[in-house]
Amino acid sequence: MPTKSKPAKPKVKAILDSYQGDPSMLVSILQDVQAEYNYLPKETLTQVSQDLDIPLTRVYSVATFFKAFSLKPRGRHIINVCLGTACHVRGAVRIRDEIERELDIKPGETTEDFKFTLETVNCVGACALGPIVIIDSKYSGQMKPDKVKTLLESYD
């Protein structure tokens, strides 16, 4: 997933082709671009706008409306703390606070070494295991504040 490579246009082209250049698939297209680059680099937005023949302002408004998109480079590991209702009543806020304290970043921010980006999500559908933290695509359920440190240390 996370790649270090510089935004290279052929990748965007390939993604656009896989949707037959259908402008109505904009959200899905941006999702795939983000999966490729780990965020939405400016050049890719310009290219999507040109190739789909829709105004850059519209691409930008979609890219900023949806929570799933980031216009800033993100860390090697994406931490998602679930703040859905089920996780909330089981103390998810304390988990988030502990991660914030441990990494010294707030949700939406990335550590200076680009190791972690902290994000929050509203329910991932594994409510039975709340509070839940997802790092990249690995779920850790029944989290406790005192388990946070060990969990974070297991990533490099």
Partner 1 sequence: MAKTKTKRLSSPQELEALRELIVKGRDPNQSCIVICGGTGCLALGAQEVINAFKQEIEKGSLKNKLALRVTGCPGFCERGPLVVIKPKNILYQQVKSEDISEIVSATVKGNIVDRLLYTDPDTGQKITYEHEVPFYKKQKRLLLGDNSNIDPTIIEDYLALGGYATLSKVLFKMSPDKVIDEVKKAGLRGRGGGGFPTGVKWESCRQAQGDTRYVICNCDEGDPGAFMDRSLMEGNPHSVLEGMLIGAYAIGSHQGYIYVRNEYPLAVRNAGIAIKQAGELGLLGKNILGSGFDFSVKISRGGGAFVCGESTALMASLEGKVGEPRAKYVHTVEKGLWEQPTNLNNVETWANVPLIIKNGADWYAKVGTEGSKGTKIFSLVGKINNTGLVEVPMGITLREIIYDVGGGIPDNKKFKAVQTGGPSGGCIPESSLDLPVDFDQLTDVGSMMGSGGMIVMDENSCMVDIAKYFINFLEGESCGKCVPCREGLKRMSQILTDITEGRGKEGDIELLERLSATLADSSLCALGSTAPNPVLTTIRYFRDEYEAHIKDKRCPAGVCRELVTYLIDEENCPGCGLCVKACPVEAITDMGKKKPVVLDQEKCIKCGACYDVCKLGAIIRK
Tell me how far CA of residue 142 lies from CA of 6, 79, 99, 116, in angstroms. 38, 16, 15, 21
* Beta pairing partners, 118: 79
User: Which residues ranging from 32 to 91 are in contact with ligand FES (CB under 6 A)?
Assistant: 82, 84-87
Q: What angle do CA 117, 88, 134 make, to 5 degrees?
A: 35
Tell me the closest approach of the beta carbon of residue 68 to ligand FES, in angstroms.
16
Nearer to partner 1, 8 or 72 (CB): 72
User: Which residues ranging from 95 to 134 are in contact with ligand FES (CB under 6 A)?
Assistant: 123-127, 130, 132
How far is Cα 110 from Cα 38, in angstroms, rounded to an integer?
13
Look at residue 156 and give the partner it binds from partner 1, ligand FES, none, a contact being a CB closer than 5 to 8 Å depending on partner kind.
none
Q: Please give the residue ranges that form the binding site for ligand FES (CB under 6 A).
A: 82, 84-87, 123-127, 130, 132
